[in-house]
Chain A
Amino acid sequence: MSDSTVQVAEAPPGVEGAGFFATSLDSLVGLARANSLWPLPFATSCCGIEFMSTMASHYDIGRFGAERLSFSARQADVLMVMGTIAKKMAPVLRQVYEQMAEPRWVLSVGACASSGGIFDTYSVLQGIDHIIPVDVYVPGCPPRPEQIIDGVLNIQKLVGEESLRRRNSPEYKQLLASYGIE
């Protein structure tokens, strides 16, 4: 298997010796989490079609350890919101977010999810960050699969570098409280 092109994730900084490797728990857990994200696709329109192709063999999101889609919010790590969110859909999206266990991340894919897009109208939510906190925004209408993968990679970067205590920090609690989420 000398011609294998499989790359393994880089080891975090640490102390290495004969038969042992020492590093911080933060970076070890971050490494594991970042490379085995379980996304929950919340696809409501054309961005969802782009996601299907992102997931399929040609672009293959599985190369980044995220091929296991979780259609149960309770087991998902990343909420991928792809498409126009009508105001009537907003409580549903919010409930899905509330059902996810910590730690959880949100990827807002496309112009509609990020800002309402072209639908500047009475019935459409003007960006999902009105109801839930968003970690990474992917621009585009719709974005190409490469852009969605770039968004996933940016999420991975956040996940890998996140401190284990972040979710207990007062800043984080304040953020959730500003959205009225317990």
Chain B
Amino acid sequence: MEKPTLENVLAELQQHFGSNILAVEQDYDFHTVHISKQHIVTMLRYLYDHDTFRFQYLTTACGLHYPDAERPFGMMYQVHSLTTNLRLRFKAFTTASDLEFDTLTTVFPAANWMEREAFDFFGFHFKGHPNLKRILNVEDMDYHPLRKEYPIEDATRYDKDDTLFGRRPAGYDRKRLQP
């Protein structure tokens, strides 16, 4: 059989999941398939079990936050087929009121730590995850630092006047700068 191409994969996905695929984007030679979050596991499981495509390697997965978008929060998954050397990216977006995703650990054990990271930094919950707790930040941290509503800078600094750096953040309080 001829070596399968990404076009074959996309055509097959289109045929099997048709209406569940919201959009297909292409950045250079990398394709991104936008889906809704309840189809992540079934779609990646299908590609994993497929006889010829065999997308059996989860390169990476991470959380996303675009604060101005209509559906600001999302997960991104990148899969790789080691037999056909094809790569594909999936994105699923959701609203702030519904931050629960199905865990992908049932398909890829490697998703365990990646989902813990997404929980740690964005506060997403993964239904069925075996050990959903913080992985990189200190255990007693009380917020999810990569959400855009939180400042990236350390909150314990009082010696830095933002106006000297040409910026005045939202919620700027001159009093905070006093020791």
Q: Which A residues fall within an 8 A CB radius of B?
A: 87-88, 116, 120-124, 126, 130
| B138/A120 in contact, CB under 8 A | no
Residue of B nearest to A116 (CB): B154
| B145/A120 in contact, CB under 8 A | no
Query: Which of A116, A124, A126 has the most chain B CB atoms closer than 10 A to its own CB?
Result: A126
| A126/B137 in contact, CB under 8 A | no
Residues of the A chain whose Cβ atoms lie less than 8 Å from the Cβ of B160: 120
CA distance A120 to B152 in the complex (A): 8
| B145/A123 in contact, CB under 8 A | yes
Residue of A nearest to B152 (CB): A121
Residue B70 is within 8 A (CB to CB) of chain A in the complex = no
Residues of the B chain whose Cβ atoms lie less than 8 Å from the Cβ of A116: 154, 157
CA distance A116 to B156 in the complex (A): 11
Total number of B residues with any Cβ neighbor in A under 8 Å: 13
Binding site of B, secondary structure by majority: helix, strand, loop or mixed? loop
CA distance A88 to B141 in the complex (A): 10
Residues of the A chain whose Cβ atoms lie less than 8 Å from the Cβ of B151: 122
Q: Which B residues fall within an 8 A CB radius of A?
A: 136-138, 145, 150-157, 160
* A and B contact pairs by CB, cutoff 8 A, 14 listed: A87-B137, A87-B138, A88-B136, A88-B137, A120-B153, A120-B157, A120-B160, A121-B152, A121-B153, A121-B154, A122-B152, A123-B136, A126-B154, A126-B156
CA distance A124 to B156 in the complex (A): 10
Residues of the A chain whose Cβ atoms lie less than 8 Å from the Cβ of B156: 126, 130
Rounded to whole Å, the gap between the CB of A122 and the closest CB of chain B is 5
Residues of the A chain whose Cβ atoms lie less than 8 Å from the Cβ of B157: 116, 120, 126
